[in-house]
C-alpha cells in the first residue's frame, strides 16, 4: 500500500479522535474500498490505549456476514499486533432451547449483527439490555461502570430496534458509512472524499459508458480488458450486472441469457444471484454448493466467474476487489444504492503491493467501467490537452522528475556487513513481536527483509531483531537528499522525461477561472476551470498574466490538427503552462516526511528561454471549507522546501512556493539549490530578463 494511502487513513482517524472528544454523536464518511473497517480498528485501538474503561459495541448490517467480516478483521489486527488493544467478541443468539443467551463481560469490542436484535429474538428478550446494564452501572453490586461507545457501521440503514435502547447506555455514538443519510441528521464531521481516496490509489476512478450502450457493449468491453487484467495484474476480472427487483427482472434476465448463449460469449462463466437459492443460476460447477459458498468463491481473485448478475444482494457488505465493471439495468431510485453498488467495482485489486506494478498495470488497476445512473453528487470534470492527443504540447514541454533511491543503492552499504556488525540483543523477542514490528515498517524495509532472509527463518529473525538499527540507517540515508535523491530513470538507467498526460480530471469545488489559452481544454467545451483553493485560483491569474505578456513559451496546435492548412498561415497558439492535475500525472517529486510521499506541484510553465518552472501554492489564510492542522501544515511546508531545494539541483528546473498571507504573495524560490524570497514583481522581472 502506498504511504500516501496509509497517511490518509491515519490522518482521518486522528481527526475522528479530535471530534469524538468534543461531541456525543459523530458521523464519519469514507467511500467503500477506502479501508473503513481498518480505520475503525485503528480508532478503537487508540481510544483503548488511553482508556481501559471504554467498551465498544459495533452494530453492523445484515444478520451475520458483515458482522463476521468485521469481527475477523478486528481479531486479525489483535493477533498480529497491529492493533493489540482490541479484544473482540462476536455476539451470537445461539443457545440451547432451555438456555438464555449469555454475553461475557471480559472483552472490549463487541460485534453485533443488527438483525439479531429484533422483536422475538433472544437478544431482545433481555440478554443485550442486561449486558448493557451490567457493563455501565453498579447493578446489584456487580456492575463494571464502563463507558460504552456505540459504532453504527453502514449507518445509512435504519436501526429502529437498536435505537429503542436507552441512549443512557452509550457515552458516544459514532456513525460510519460511505453514504450517510442527511435526512436522519447524519451530517459528516470527518470525511474522506472519493477524490482523496482515488488520489492515493485506494479506490478506482470511474469511466462512464455511453447512455446508448447495451449489455452486449459491456460484454465486449469486458472481453477487451480480461486478458490484460490477467497478464498485468494476475487477477481474473469480473463484470457485475444489476437487474430490477420486481416485474422487469425476468425480462431483463432473459435478454442477458440470450447474449450469454451467443457463440462468442459461451466461454464465459456466470452466476445469477437473486433472493432465493432455488432461483439462483450458474453455468459453473460451484452451483452444487450452498449460496454462501458461491459468494465466497466469487470473491476470490483466482475465481473463474466472469459475470455476476444480481438484484440487491451485493449492494453492501460483499467485497469483490476483482470486480472492475458494473452494468446497471435496474431502475435505481435510491442515491445510496447507486453509490453502494458502485463501491463494489471501485476497490483496488492490488492495494497491498500497488507500488510494485508497472505504470500500465497501475492504470488498469485504477479504472472501473460503469454503465448506469450517474450520481447527482458527481462533480468530476474531464480535461484533455489541445491538439491531436496533445502530442505537440507533450513534445515541447518535458520535465525531469526525482525519486528517492532505496537503501540498497547507498554507496558502501551492504546488509550482510551491516548486520554482521550489530550486537545481538540481551533478550530475544518472540516471533510474534518481531512480525508485529516488521508489519509497521515501510515497504522498502519489508522488501529488504525478505530479500535478505529468503526462506531462512534464522536470517529473518536476525534481520528483525535489528529493525531499529536498520530503520535508523534508512532514515539517515533517505533524509540526506544529496545522497538519496536521483532523477527518475528507466530500467536501462536513462533519464525519464515527463509531461502532462493527454487527459486527466479534477473535482469541481468552486474557485473558478476562465482560461482558453493554456494547454488544457474541458470535455464540455467550456473554458471554465475550478481550482482546489482561492489561493490556487489567484495564483493561476498571476501565471496567466505572465503568459499573456509573452513570457511563456507557446506551441501552434493548428499545425498538428490541420497540417494541410499550415501553409495558409492558420495559427492557433497555446501557452505552455497549465495546472498539474493529479490524475495520470507523472510530474511528481518524491520526498520523505515520516514516510515516503510524492509532491505534485500545482502548476508547470515553460518560459521563452526554454526553462521549466514549477509552482506549489500554499496559503495561511483561514478557509471555511478547509480545516488544517497548523503544525502539520508547517511541517509539510518545511519538508517540501527541502525536497525542492535538492530537486532544483538534480533537475536544473526552477521551483517556487508562493504563499498567500492575507492579500500578499510571499514567494520562496529555489534555483540550483539556492533559496531566496521574491515578490511577484521580481518574478516577472526574472521571466523578462531570463535570469534566476
- Most confident listed range (64-73, 96-105, 250-259): 250-259
Contacting residues for 662 by C-beta, under 8 A, at least 6 apart = 621
CA distances from 217 to 133, 150, 209, 506, 659 (A): 58, 46, 9, 27, 49
pLDDT tens string 443-498: 788 889 989 999 899 999 999 999 999 999 999 999 999 999 999 998 899 999 99
Cβ-contact 230, 304 below 8 angstroms: no
Which ranges in the chain are annotated with CATH 3.40.50.300? 3-192, 204-376
pLDDT at 166: 64
Mean pLDDT of 257-270: 92
Cell numbers standing for residue 270: 456466470
pLDDT tens string 365-410: 999 999 876 654 546 678 899 987 788 999 999 999 999 998 988 8
pLDDT at 138: 44
67-76, 132-141, 232-241, range with the lowest pLDDT? 132-141
Q: Is the pLDDT of residue 216 over 60?
A: yes
Cα 178 to Cα 155: distance, rounded to the nearest angstrom:
9
Strand order in the sheet with 402-404: 485-487, 402-404, 589-592, 596-599
**Position of cell 455511453?**
210
SS3 state at 407: helix
SS3 state at 607: strand
298-312, 367-381, 508-522, range with the lowest pLDDT? 367-381
Q: Read off the DSSP letter of residue 301.
A: T
Q: In CATH, what number does 204-376 get?
A: 3.40.50.300
Cell numbers standing for residue 120: 422475538
Strand order in the sheet with 54-60: 88-90, 109-113, 54-60, 147-153, 170-177, 25-29, 190-191
Cα 164 to Cα 272: distance, rounded to the nearest angstrom:
37
SS3 state at 136: helix
SS3 state at 346: coil
Number of other CB atoms surrounding residue 593 within 10 Å: 17
Cα 349 to Cα 347: distance, rounded to the nearest angstrom:
6
Mean pLDDT of 79-108: 79
Q: Is the pLDDT of residue 107 over 80?
A: yes
Kindly tell me the number of DSSP H helices and DSSP E strands found in the chain: 22, 34
Among residues 205, 204, 201, which one has the least CA distance to residue 5? Answer: 201
pLDDT tens string 167-176: 778 889 999 9
SS3 state at 438: helix
SS3 state at 51: coil
pLDDT at 97: 45
What percent of the chain has pLDDT above 70? 88
Q: Is the pLDDT of residue 3 over 80?
A: yes
Mean pLDDT of 148-161: 82
Mean pLDDT of 294-316: 77
pLDDT tens string 594-610: 777 889 999 999 999 99
Instruction: Give the pLDDT band of residue 94 (cuts 50, 70, 90).
Output: low
pLDDT tens string 538-597: 999 999 999 999 999 999 887 655 554 445 555 678 999 999 998 778 999 999 887 778
Contacting residues for 227 by C-beta, under 8 A, at least 6 apart = none
- Higher-scoring residue by pLDDT: 159, 220: 220
Cβ-contact 296, 314 below 8 angstroms: no
Across the chain, mean pLDDT equals 85
Mean pLDDT of 341-352: 86
pLDDT at 338: 58
Alpha helix locations (H) across 153-214? 160-163, 194-199
Q: Is the pLDDT of residue 17 over 70?
A: yes
- Higher-scoring residue by pLDDT: 553, 121: 553
Cα–Cα–Cα angle for 672, 677, 682, nearest 5°?
95
CB-side exposure of 277: number of CA atoms within 13 Å?
A: 10
pTM metric for this prediction: 0.60
pLDDT at 416: 94
SS3 state at 27: strand
End-to-end CA distance of the chain: 39
Cα 486 to Cα 610: distance, rounded to the nearest angstrom:
22
Mean pLDDT of 296-324: 77
Domain 3-192 of CATH type 1.10.3720.10: no
Question: For residue 676, what are the β-bridge partners?
Answer: 669
pLDDT at 267: 93
CB-side exposure of 501: number of CA atoms within 13 Å?
A: 16
Cα 600 to Cα 585: distance, rounded to the nearest angstrom:
8
pLDDT tens string 620-668: 876 544 444 466 678 889 999 999 999 999 999 999 999 999 889 999 9
H-run or E-run covering 228 = helix 215-228
In this structure, the chain runs to a length of 692
Amino acid at each position: 500500500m502506498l504511504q500516501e494511502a496509509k497517511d490518509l487513513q491515519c490522518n482521518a482517524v486522528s481527526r475522528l479522535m479530535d471530534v469524538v472528544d468534543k461531541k456525543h454523536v459523530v458521523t464519519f464518511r469514507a467511500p467503500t474500498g477506502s479501508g473503513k473497517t481498518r480505520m475503525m480498528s485503528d480508532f478503537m485501538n487508540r481510544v483503548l490505549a488511553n482508556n481501559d474503561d471504554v467498551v465498544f459495541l459495533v452494530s453492523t448490517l445484515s444478520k451475520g456476514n458483515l458482522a463476521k467480516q468485521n469481527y475477523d478483521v478486528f481479531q486479525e489486527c489483535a493477533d498480529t499486533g497491529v492493533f493489540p488493544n482490541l479484544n473482540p467478541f462476536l455476539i451470537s443468539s445461539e443457545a440451547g432451547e432451555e438456555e438464555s443467551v449469555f454475553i461475557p463481560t471480559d472483552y472490549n469490542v463487541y460485534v453485533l449483527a443488527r438483525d439479531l436484535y429484533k422483536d422475538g429474538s433472544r437478544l431482545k428478550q433481555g440478554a443485550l439490555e442486561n449486558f448493557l446494564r451490567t457493563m455501565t452501572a453498579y447493578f446489584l453490586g456487580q456492575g463494571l461502570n464502563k463507558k460504552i461507545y456505540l459504532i453504527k457501521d453502514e449507518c445509512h440503514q435504519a436501526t429502529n430496534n437498536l435505537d429503542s435502547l436507552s441512549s443512557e447506555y452509550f457515552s458516544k455514538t459514532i456513525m460510519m458509512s460511505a453514504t450517510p443519510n442527511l435526512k436522519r441528521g447524519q451530517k459528516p464531521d470527518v470525511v474522506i472524499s472519493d477524490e482523496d481516496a482515488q488520489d492515493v490509489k485506494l479506490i478506482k476512478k470511474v469511466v462512464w459508458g455511453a447512455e446508448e450502450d447495451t449489455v452486449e457493449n459491456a460484454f465486449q468491453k469486458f472481453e477487451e480488458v480480461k486478458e490484460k487484467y490477467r497478464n498485468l495484474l494476475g487477477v481474473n476480472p469480473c463484470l457485475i450486472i444489476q437487474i430490477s427487483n420486481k416485474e422487469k427482472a425476468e425480462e431483463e434476465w432473459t435478454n442477458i441469457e440470450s447474449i450469454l448463449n451467443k457463440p462468442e460469449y459461451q466461454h464465459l462463466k456466470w452466476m445469477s444471484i437473486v433472493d432465493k437459492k432455488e432461483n439462483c443460476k450458474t453455468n459453473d460447477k460451484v452451483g452444487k454448493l450452498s449460496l454462501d459458498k458461491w459468494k465466497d468463491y466469487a470473491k476470490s481473485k483466482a475465481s473463474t466467474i466472469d459475470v455476476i448478475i444480481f438484484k440487491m444482494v451485493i449492494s453492501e457488505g460483499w467485497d469483490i476487489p476483482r470486480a472492475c465493471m458494473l452494468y446497471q439495468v435496474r431502475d435505481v431510485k435510491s442515491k445510496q444504492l447507486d453509490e453502494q453498488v458502485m463501491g463494489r467495482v471501485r476497490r483496488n485489486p492490488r492495494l497491498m503491493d500497488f507500488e510494485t506494478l508497472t505504470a500500465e498495470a497501475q492504470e488498469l488497476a485504477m479504472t472501473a467501467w460503469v454503465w448506469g445512473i450517474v450520481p447527482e453528487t458527481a462533480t468530476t470534470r474531464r480535461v484533455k490537452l489541445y491538439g491531436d492527443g496533445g502530442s505537440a504540447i507533450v513534445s515541447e514541454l518535458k520535465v525531469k522528475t526525482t525519486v528517492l533511491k532505496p537503501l540498497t543503492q547507498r554507496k558502501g552499504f551492504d546488509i550482510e556487513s551491516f548486520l554482521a556488525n550489530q550486537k545481538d540483543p540481551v533478550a530475544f523477542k518472540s516471533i510474534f513481536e518481531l512480525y508485529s514490528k516488521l508489519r509497521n515498517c515501510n515497504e522498502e524495509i519489508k522488501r529488504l527483509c525478505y530479500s535478505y532472509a529468503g526462506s531462512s527463518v534464522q536470517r529473518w529473525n536476525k534481520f528483525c531483531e535489528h529493525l531499529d538499527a536498520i530503520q535508523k540507517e534508512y532514515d539517515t540515508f533517505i533524509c540526506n537528499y544529496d545522497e538519496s535523491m536521483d532523477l527518475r530513470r528507466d530500467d536501462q538507467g536513462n533519464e525519464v522525461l515527463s509531461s502532462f498526460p493527454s487527459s486527466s480530471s479534477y473535482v469541481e469545488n468552486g474557485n473558478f477561472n476562465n482560461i482558453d489559452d493554456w494547454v488544457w481544454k474541458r470535455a464540455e467545451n467550456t473554458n471554465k476551470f475550478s481550482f482546489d483553493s482561492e489561493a490556487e485560483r489567484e495564483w493561476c491569474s498571476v501565471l496567466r498574466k505572465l503568459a499573456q505578456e509573452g513570457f511563456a513559451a507557446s506551441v501552434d496546435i493548428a499545425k498538428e490538427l490541420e497540417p494541410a492548412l499550415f501553409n495558409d498561415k492558420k495559427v492557433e497558439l497555446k501557452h505552455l503552462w497549465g495546472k498539474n492535475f493529479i490524475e495520470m500525472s507523472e510530474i511528481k517529486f518524491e520526498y520523505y516526511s515520516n514516510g515516503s510521499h510524492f509532491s505534485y506541484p500545482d502548476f508547470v510553465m515553460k518560459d521563452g528561454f526554454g526553462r521549466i518552472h514549477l509552482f506549489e501554492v500554499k496559503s495561511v489564510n483561514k478557509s471555511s471549507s478547509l480545516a488544517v492542522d497548523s503544525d502539520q501544515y508547517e511541517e509539510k511546508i518545511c519538508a517540501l522546501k527541502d525536497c525542492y531545494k535538492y530537486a532544483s539541483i538534480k533537475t536544473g528546473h526552477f521551483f517556487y512556493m508562493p504563499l498567500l498571507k492575507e492579500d500578499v504573495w510571499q514567494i520562496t524560490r529555489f534555483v540550483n539549490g539556492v533559496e531566496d524570497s521574491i515578490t511577484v514583481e521580481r518574478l516577472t522581472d526574472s521571466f523578462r530578463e531570463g535570469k534566476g
